[in-house]
Every structure is written in C-alpha cells, then in structure tokens.
Structure 1
Amino acid sequence: MTVPPFIDTHHHLWDLENNPYPWLTEPIDHFVGDYSAIRKSWLIGDLHEGAKDIPLVKSVHVQAEWDHNADPVGETAWLQSVADDPNSKGMPHAIIGFANLSDPNVEATLERHAQHANWRGIRHMLNWSDDKPNFRFAETGRLMSDAQWREGFKLLGKFDGSFDLQVWPWQLEEAAKLGNDIPEVPMILNHTAMPIGRSPGELREWRKGLEALGTAPNISAKISALGMLDQTWTAESIWPFVLDTIDILGVDRCMFASNFPVDSLFSDYATVWNAYDEITSDFTEEERTKLFRTNAEKYYRI
C-alpha cells in the first residue's frame, strides 16, 4: 500500500532568529535526553521537504513553547502570516496556541487569538510527576481540578476553541473527569497519551486511562510521538500502541501526526507516515481515510 492523502495533526515550526523559544536557545533537562540536533530553525519549507515524496495535504501547528513571558498571541500571529504566504500551501491550516488558563485575564488573550483565521484552540501542557522534575511541564500538578484553571478552560467554548490535552498516563483519569464535567469544550489528546513506561503495570495504567477517556464523548486522540517515547522504534514496536488506541477509542476518534521536528531526532518524516500506513494496511479504505484525513478535518475544523 501507499500512504493515502493525509493531514499532519501535530507539528511545530520555530524561527530561532526572530522568535523567542527559551528551551531551544538554552537547553533544559528534557526527558528525551540530548536534543541539540533540533535546536535550530525549522520552517514551513522544512516540513514540505520532509513530505516531498508523500501526499501531505494539510497541517496543524501546535504551540512550540514560545516564551511564556512574551505575548502568546505573537506566535499565533506569526503562524497566521506563514499560512497566508502562498508558498506555504495554506499550512498550517489550524493553529493551536498557548494561553495560561489560570490567568484571571485569559479571556482577553483568547479573544485576541480568535481574531486570527486559522486559530482553533489552546494547548497548556499539563504533564506532571511528583517524583521526576524533568517530567513536569506544568506550573503545578492537578491543574485540571483547579477552579480558576477550569474557569479559563470553560472560556474556550465561548470562542469555539478546542483544547489540546497533553498529560502522562497517570493523569488520564483526571483528564477524563475534566472532559465529562465540561463537555462543551472539545478535547484532543496529544501523543497517544504518552506511554512512557513499558512494564506490565505501566501499560495497564495507560490502557485503563484511555478507557476512562473513552467515556467522555468530547475527546478525540492523536496517535503521535511514539518515537519520542521509544527512541529505537520500529513499526513493529509501536504497532500495539497504535492499534490499542484505535481499539479503545474507536476509528472515528483517532488521527495521525508526526510531532516533527521533535521526532526527527528518531527518524525521518516519511518513515513515520509509512509506519502508520503499514500498521493500518488491513483497515478498510473508509477507516484509513478517517484516520489519515477526515477525522482531522472534523476535529480541527479544517
């Protein structure tokens, strides 16, 4: 089989010469280890170059940790200018920005994001571990249960915005409660729920968390970043995670993504999409079309 026309539902762009990304200019203790190879500008032309031999038709950009001390709408404005350039082929068709949902004034930030045609929602990374400091991407743990944060989350509905959910497996049940408590805000799970552990107990925790998410009808999922979590990955090694996610959540709620350029640390762009193609080779054409393209069009409104 060959890769069908697809939408990359999770990639990043960064212009280190003109925009502020502290984690790229000054390295941090990141759980992936040495990421020096991606500490350089990666622009829309690099995405097109990676996809030159496969049929990328649309893309979704997810916030790339633009300096949190700077105006987060600056990233959305820059990405809109990229999308408006004819050479971009319209990409990114959807922009997921950043806003601190705990900020009492977040409504004004969301309103300004929403003035950009391709803006679709917010990612506020919620990853937290009590034991491992380099597993903490959030300001504190349990933000999803915090009343002030939840008020900011609810405001997404006012602007027809969705929420990109990034958590560890042990946070999935709390995320499911958030989804069920506030069903009016669509949530899109990032990175296959980040199955970082491989012990039987850790895998059970991941599956149990996905099953909990499945109880919230407003949650869909992106299958991505499996290389970031298995740095010597092959199609065979990620196969169970792809198929289990689809089995638990259903073919109508899953879509594929590259997580480039982060996952370029572990493979080239086409290899990721060829793996998804191989893993779903026994699926029907209708199912593959949903996974590779039309679910993304539905959930990201593109």
Structure 2
Amino acid sequence: MTRHPIIDTHVHFWDMATPDLGMKWVWLEKEFVHPILGDIDAMKSVKYTIESVFAESRFADVSGFVHVQAALGSADPVDETRWLTRMRESAPVPFTIVAHADLGTEHAIAQLDGHAESPYFVGVRDFAAEPMLAAGEINPVYEASLRVLAERGLVYDLDCEWMNMPAGTELARRHPDLSVVLEHIGFPRSRDDEYFENWKRSLTELASAPNVTCKISGLAMTDPRFTRDSLRRWVDACVEAFGPDRCVLGSNWPVDRLYSSYDVIMDLYREYIAELSDSEQSKILSENAARLYRL
C-alpha cells in the first residue's frame, strides 16, 4: 500500500518567551479557561514553533503545514504574520499562513494589505464570522471584504457549527469565486446520534456549494476519550458529502495533543480513507491542500 505524504492544514505557533512588541496569545495565558474545551493547561507551553511540530511529526511523512491564526489579543494581527514570516525563512519544512483580519470593519483591507507583504500569506480566519451567521446578519462591509479575498485568491477558513451551516451555505453561494474551507468539520460539540444526524444533514447542505472544502481536523477535541470506531463515521460522512476532491486534513496541533499523539491521530485518518483509490487518498492527504494553501 502506498503511504502518501500529508500536508497538515491546521497547526498553531506561538512564542510567549520572547514575543514581538504588541503580540499576545490570550487563550494560552495561565488563568484562561477555554470556553468549549475547558482546561487546556497541559498544552500551555511557553513556546511552540515549526521546530516543535516538526519534531513531533517527523515520522508521520508530513511535507508541509498551514499555521492558522493563534495570536489572539495582539494589537495588530499583521504582527503575527511578520513574526511567522521570519520563522518560515529558516523552517525545516515549509508552511504557509492563514491569518486573522477584522473583515467586518474599516481596517480589513489595510490588514489584508499588510499580510500580503508576506509571500507565505494564503488566507484568513475571522472568529466574528460564526456569531454573524448565527444572528442571520449580512454585513455589507464583511461582504465587500469577502469579495476582496476572492479577487486576491485567498482562502476563507470558516468556523461554523451545524446549526449555522445553512447560513454558511448562503454565504458561499453569494461568493462563488471564494474558496471557503470549513474548519474542524464544524467543531461538533456532542457525539450522540441525534447531534450526528443534524450535523450530517447540514454538512451535506453545505457541501452543495461547490466552492466549499471540508477540513478534517480537530475531531478529538470534543471526543477526548475517542476510539478508532468513534471517529470513523464523522470522517466517512465528510468524504461522502464533499468527495475526495474537496477534503483536506489537519492535525489541530498541539491542541489535539491533549488527547493523543501526532502519529496515532494521523494514522487513524489514513486508515479511515484507506479504501479509497491511491489517487483519491493523495488528494485528501496533500494535493488539495497544496492547491488551496499554495504549498
């Protein structure tokens, strides 16, 4: 059996030991309790960089990474991109950058312009998106920013729980030229059968928008004592809904290290798609990510 390389589309880096001026990672501060995951103290190291994830992943055949915004609370989101760009120049393995931008504000375009000074900037994640979808809002400024993302060929990484996926589908259809990537398969908050069926129905609706890709990542976060069988149906449903051409893989590292080791999780993902053809496996594991995130 061919062992295809992986492009890991979801990792986080930080450096609270020697931070650039103005940079913060509030979710990693000592007293912070994660609003969904609760106690994440076991992963709150002072520093985690490309060297760190390379050390953990080097036997998993990973050929590249995508860093997703992590410097929450920083004065200027572009500072994170500048810091990451310096790191990228001497990285042992390539990575690109999905940054933060305040897409619903007057600062959006200036922030995008600042990020664009880095040759490794490839997309945006904005946590303001899900509350906006949940409220049924269509913000003209946000819509204009999404059009700019599409014009510039940038990826829009979208957090969207199942009950907000119909609104996410409408957003994707309003912007057919925008590459939208569903984060963490919609970050399921529960693993019971009723939740699964609601999620699967909404996921299938979201997949009907041809410009949406599903990021298979973060599955362990709300299933901390997961088993080989407990994760399988969630991955199967993603591949069934989106097909091998519109799925990518992410580790959500080091957050998912709270629940297992890197090789175990990645090998499970490989196992779940092993019945697909070699070419289909290669698309999910690396080729789709290489195209979307310019690796």
TM-score range, shorter chain: over 0.9
Q: C-alpha deviations, 1:229-271, integer Å up to 9, x for none?
A: 2111122110000011000111100011100011111011111
**Consecutive unaligned residues in structure 2, runs of 5 or more:** none
Letter of the aligned partner of 2:13 in structure 1?
Answer: L
Matched, 1:79 2:81: no
Report the counterpart of residue 176 of structure 1 in structure 2.
169
CA contact (8 A) 2:54 2:92 kept: no
User: What is the correspondence of 1:152-191 to structure 2 with a 5 Å cutoff?
Assistant: 152-191=145-184
Matched, 1:31 2:33: no
SS of match in other structure, 2:15: coil
Report the counterpart of residue 98 of structure 2 in structure 1.
96
Q: Tell me how far apart the structure 2 counterparts of residues 268 and 144 of structure 1 sit (CA, whole Å).
A: 40
Letter of the aligned partner of 1:53 in structure 2?
Answer: F
TM-aligned CA deviation for residue 115 of structure 1: 1.4
Moved over 4 A (4+): 138-141
More displaced stretch, 39-48 vs 254-263: 39-48
Q: Tell me how far apart the structure 1 counterparts of residues 110 and 257 of structure 2 sit (CA, whole Å).
A: 35
TM-aligned CA deviation for residue 49 of structure 1: 1.0
Q: Tell me how far apart the structure 2 counterparts of residues 229 and 37 of structure 1 sit (CA, whole Å).
A: 16
Say what the alpha-carbon RMSD is for the aligned residues.
1.9
CA contact (8 A) 2:71 2:77 kept: no
**Consecutive unaligned residues in structure 1, runs of 5 or more:** 129-137
Report the counterpart of residue 64 of structure 1 in structure 2.
70
Q: Tell me how far apart the structure 2 counterparts of residues 152 and 140 of structure 1 sit (CA, whole Å).
A: 16
Matched, 1:123 2:129: no
Report the counterpart of residue 291 of structure 1 in structure 2.
284
Q: Tell me how far apart the structure 2 counterparts of residues 204 and 140 of structure 1 sit (CA, whole Å).
A: 21
TM-aligned CA deviation for residue 280 of structure 1: 1.7
Report the counterpart of residue 203 of structure 1 in structure 2.
196
TM-score by length of 2: 0.92
Report the counterpart of residue 21 of structure 1 in structure 2.
25
Q: Tell me how far apart the structure 2 counterparts of residues 249 and 79 of structure 1 sit (CA, whole Å).
A: 31
TM-aligned CA deviation for residue 160 of structure 1: 2.2
Matched, 1:194 2:187: yes
TM-score by length of 1: 0.90
Q: Tell me how far apart the structure 1 counterparts of residues 132 and 201 of structure 2 sit (CA, whole Å).
A: 26
Q: C-alpha deviations, 1:96-147, integer Å up to 9, x for none?
A: 000011112311111111111010010012575xxxxxxxxx5894376223
* TM-aligned CA distance change 1:237 to 1:148, over 3 Å: same
SS of match in other structure, 2:248: strand
Paired residues, number: 289
TM-aligned CA deviation for residue 197 of structure 1: 2.1
Report the counterpart of residue 244 of structure 1 in structure 2.
237
